[in-house]
Amino acid sequence: MQGIILVAAAFVHYQKYENEICLSIMSRAMQKLVNATGKYHDVDIDEFKKKLSDMIKTGKIDTFAI
């Protein structure tokens, strides 16, 4: 749950054009999600982590629905 909340916080920074802060918070979120797999309240955590990982690796931030 903390990882998902951190991603929401990261996107707030993205909306303020603070992309470096956004990516930093996303990296912290990945640390919280490292052992999470499967579904959490209908959220596909594996897909969520993949999208997050892709953004961190490329530095290209893109919003998505969960």
Q: Is residue 39 part of a domain?
A: yes
Query: Residue 47 falls within a domain, yes or no?
Result: yes
Instruction: Tell me the pLDDT tens digit for each residue of 23-42.
Output: 999 999 999 999 999 999 99
In a domain? residue 63: no
pLDDT exceeds 90 at position 63: yes
Q: State how many domains the chain has.
A: 1
User: Is residue 37 a part of any domain in this protein?
Assistant: yes
Domain span including residue 41: 2-58
Q: How far apart are the first and last CA of the chain?
A: 13
Quote the pTM value: 0.89
Task: Note whether residue 46 is domain-resident.
Answer: yes
Reduced 3-state DSSP string for the chain: CHHHHHHHHHHHHHHCCCHHHHHHHHHHHHHHHCCCCCEECCEEHHHHHHHHHHHHHHCCCCCCCC
Q: How much of the chain exceeds pLDDT 90, in percent?
A: 94
Assess if residue 65 is contained within a domain: no
- The string of pLDDT tens digits covering residues 17-26 is 999 999 999 9
